[in-house]
Chain A
């Protein structure tokens, strides 16, 4: 309408595709500041994803399970290759590594409580293990990161599994970042850093450089913990086929692959949107690598990066993952990008003004790096962090995990499976040529997988 009205006034309104208003805004911003944009969360652009797959479901040729009566197992065991005590989970949905520092202590505790109630694990992050999280979380995965902030043998022995972090999907090849406003006295102490500095973590591990060194490093961690704990290797999705092979060679019990939709608390926007490959493609490459090595089932595969729904979980499992890991989805469950937060009396409080202060609105926020999270999720501010209490946070996170699990089981039963891990590629069809090619799943209604004969 507007356009016609303008056109009638003879205005020329031919927008450029290459230099659209978003691009020109970006250039003007760059010209004004001489500095790239830093932001949180993951890739925002549209990518081929699990949405582009559907399940075929049982009918004549396959027999469904009774949806509401027959049992469908969701039990998941990770770390069966070398560890004396593998991680045993009730559900194949785990909570991804997010640092104390990026998240508040309340949020870490809430996630731990929710995971414990659902029989799954949480993961520490850059900055070490907090008391709150260890106490709340029955199964806790302890990350070994390039920065080694707060890394120590006591927490290592207290952990249930160890995750060697090579990279993350939002920024494969980049290190952590925590801006000064989030480096409060406790965070600074845990990381042995001066308060309030803009902290940029290393992207390379200090004491190993390649896969052969890593193999020795992993044996060191196993020796220290008397070969009890599973060792995961987490990689950001890039050359996934080769990375997974090298991770297996280095002695991983579990490989975690994080696609480019995976989130972060802070990094360069250009990194988030332009480095790494989509989760869908990375998952197929990872499964192929394990199959080619004859390691499928021996080394478990965890996929993360944009897993939001029970259907996403089911599709990931059908493609060959053993479990998924969720970060951003958990934050949204806790209130990320919601217009309100809930006070101690259970009343909803409007947060819009706080979003406006950050220069955004509910639904568009990616300002985790500022430490001024309007809903109290990614903050170290003593006032803001009260907006998520461990109890309310735990309830929401638990409900979200429960919903995902119910959806997953619903789909598995419809496909005639008594165990969600019995979902298989043959249960899937692709809706787009891109998804068919990346996932290695035939385009619906055909037998065609692009790239395969």
Chain B
């Protein structure tokens, strides 16, 4: 098969990112293999073309940051800020993701096979995040749009100060954040969950949509309220 591969142990990060910033030629293979990443930070950030990147090993902070269009699959764990501010495309990590995974993502799909750390989906702006394991505290903080689906549990203050993001939770949250509340699942919600799981692919296709609950904004912080007694 026609493909390009880089060995991070011998190739500078700058060279790889510069390679991934240009548009592939018409006939060029889109597949890029990255070996021995060794936890490097800022790997494949700012991609804006339809590259399909596979990483064998662990990545550091901000992998696939601000991604547009490209797809990236990581066979390992990811550090803080995985796919932060993603605009479109698809990022899959088979292991764990650290803090702030998918922070402020405007679009695209982020799939985390294992657990995610604190603040998963913080300030989410339209992207979708599917987590196979559990998420840490303050996940979905001030999330504005898009969906956060968590198959496992959540830590404290899930969905604190939520705007219009919808959170689907398979397990239990230690606590909900200010202005977040559970609402009954509707038929369209089950369809959303099913389609998110299907888009995440792999083992997610076998997860039962029936076990999810829905957390949304109570919208009581949307307007300035003189009687709020410092609750915000």
Q: Evaluate whether A206 and B106 lie within 8 angstroms (CB atoms) in the complex, with A180-B223, A216-B42, A226-B21 already known.
A: no
**Are the CB atoms of B123 and A219 closer together than 8 Å?**
no
**Are the CB atoms of A207 and B142 closer together than 8 Å?**
no
**Are the CB atoms of B227 and A34 closer together than 8 Å?**
yes
**Are the CB atoms of B41 and A216 closer together than 8 Å?**
yes
**Is A217 interfacial (CB 8 A cutoff)?**
yes
A177 nearest in chain B by CB position: B224
Q: Which residues of chain B from 158 to 198 have a CB within 8 Å of any chain A CB?
A: 163-164
B61 nearest in chain A by CB position: A216
**Is B37 interfacial (CB 8 A cutoff)?**
no
Task: Tell me the dominant secondary structure on chain B's binding face.
Answer: loop
**Smallest CB separation, A196 vs chain B (Å):** 8
B65, B104, B126: the one within 8 Å of A220 (CB): B65
**Is B122 interfacial (CB 8 A cutoff)?**
yes
Binds B, one of A110-118, A150-158, A273-281, A407-415: A150-158
**Are the CB atoms of B224 and A198 closer together than 8 Å?**
yes
**Smallest CB separation, A146 vs chain B (Å):** 8
Q: Evaluate whether A151 and B104 lie within 8 angstroms (CB atoms) in the complex, with A34-B229, A207-B81, A208-B80 already known.
A: yes
**Are the CB atoms of B46 and A224 closer together than 8 Å?**
yes
**Are the CB atoms of A194 and B85 closer together than 8 Å?**
no
By a CB distance below 8 angstroms, the chain A residues around B80 are 207-208, 213
List 21 interface pairs A-B (beta carbons < 8 Å), by A numbering: A147-B123, A152-B66, A153-B48, A153-B66, A153-B68, A192-B106, A194-B163, A197-B222, A197-B223, A198-B223, A198-B224, A206-B104, A207-B103, A216-B41, A217-B61, A217-B81, A220-B42, A220-B65, A220-B81, A223-B17, A223-B45
B66 nearest in chain A by CB position: A153
**Is B84 interfacial (CB 8 A cutoff)?**
yes
Q: Which residues of chain A from 189 to 235 have a CB within 8 Å of any chain B CB?
A: 191-194, 197-198, 200, 202, 206-208, 213, 216-217, 219-220, 223-227
**Is B25 interfacial (CB 8 A cutoff)?**
no
**Are the CB atoms of B232 and A202 closer together than 8 Å?**
no
- CA of A235 to CA of B21, assembled, Å: 31
**Is B119 interfacial (CB 8 A cutoff)?**
yes
Size class of the contact patch on chain A = 20 to 34
**Smallest CB separation, B147 vs chain A (Å):** 14
**Is B77 interfacial (CB 8 A cutoff)?**
no
**Is A402 interfacial (CB 8 A cutoff)?**
no
- CA of A152 to CA of B127, assembled, Å: 13
- CA of A153 to CA of B21, assembled, Å: 12
**Are the CB atoms of B226 and A35 closer together than 8 Å?**
yes
**Is A179 interfacial (CB 8 A cutoff)?**
yes
**Smallest CB separation, A101 vs chain B (Å):** 15
Q: Evaluate whether A207 and B62 lie within 8 angstroms (CB atoms) in the complex, with A153-B87, A192-B145 already known.
A: yes
**Are the CB atoms of B45 and A224 closer together than 8 Å?**
yes
- Interface digits, A23-44 against B, CB 8 Å rule (1 contact, 0 not)? 0000000000111000000000
B18 nearest in chain A by CB position: A226
**Are the CB atoms of B123 and A202 closer together than 8 Å?**
yes
**Smallest CB separation, A303 vs chain B (Å):** 30
By a CB distance below 8 angstroms, the chain B residues around A156 are 66
- Interface digits, B42-74 against A, CB 8 Å rule (1 contact, 0 not)? 100110100000000000111001101000000
By a CB distance below 8 angstroms, the chain A residues around B229 are 34
By a CB distance below 8 angstroms, the chain B residues around A200 are 232
A34, A206, A227: the one within 8 Å of B226 (CB): A34
CB-CB nearest 3 A-B residue pairs: A224-B46, A207-B81, A148-B104
- CA of A404 to CA of B122, assembled, Å: 43
A38 nearest in chain B by CB position: B224
**Are the CB atoms of A219 and B41 closer together than 8 Å?**
yes
Residues on B facing A (Cβ under 8 Å)? 13-14, 17-18, 21, 41-42, 45-46, 48, 60-62, 65-66, 68, 80-81, 84-85, 87, 99-100, 103-104, 106, 119, 122-123, 125-126, 141-142, 144-145, 163-164, 222-224, 226-227, 229, 232
B18, B21, B163, B224: the one within 8 Å of A193 (CB): B163
- CA of A198 to CA of B68, assembled, Å: 31
By a CB distance below 8 angstroms, the chain A residues around B13 are 223
- CA of A191 to CA of B164, assembled, Å: 12
B86 nearest in chain A by CB position: A153
**Are the CB atoms of B66 and A224 closer together than 8 Å?**
yes
Task: Tell me the dominant secondary structure on chain A's binding face.
Answer: loop
Known pairs A35-B226, A213-B80, A216-B60 / 5 extra A-B pairs, C-beta < 8 Å: A153-B48, A153-B68, A180-B223, A224-B45, A224-B46
**Smallest CB separation, B6 vs chain A (Å):** 15
Tell which of A148, A197, A207, A224 has the most Cβ of chain B within 10 Å.
A207
**Smallest CB separation, A231 vs chain B (Å):** 14
Q: Evaluate whether A192 and B142 lie within 8 angstroms (CB atoms) in the complex, with A148-B85, A152-B85 already known.
A: no
**Smallest CB separation, A367 vs chain B (Å):** 15
By a CB distance below 8 angstroms, the chain A residues around B84 are 206-207
A225 nearest in chain B by CB position: B46
By a CB distance below 8 angstroms, the chain A residues around B223 are 180, 197-198
By a CB distance below 8 angstroms, the chain A residues around B45 are 220, 223-224
Tell which of A180, A198, A220 has the most Cβ of chain B within 10 Å.
A220
Q: Which residues of chain A from 304 to 355 have a CB within 8 Å of any chain B CB?
A: none
- CA of A206 to CA of B102, assembled, Å: 10
B14, B103, B123: the one within 8 Å of A223 (CB): B14
- CA of A160 to CA of B130, assembled, Å: 36
By a CB distance below 8 angstroms, the chain B residues around A223 are 13-14, 17, 42, 45-46
- Interface digits, A142-170 against B, CB 8 Å rule (1 contact, 0 not)? 00000110011110100000000000000
**Smallest CB separation, B194 vs chain A (Å):** 25
- CA of A194 to CA of B165, assembled, Å: 12
- CA of A35 to CA of B230, assembled, Å: 8
A191 nearest in chain B by CB position: B144
**Smallest CB separation, B12 vs chain A (Å):** 11
**Are the CB atoms of A217 and B144 closer together than 8 Å?**
no
- CA of A33 to CA of B229, assembled, Å: 11
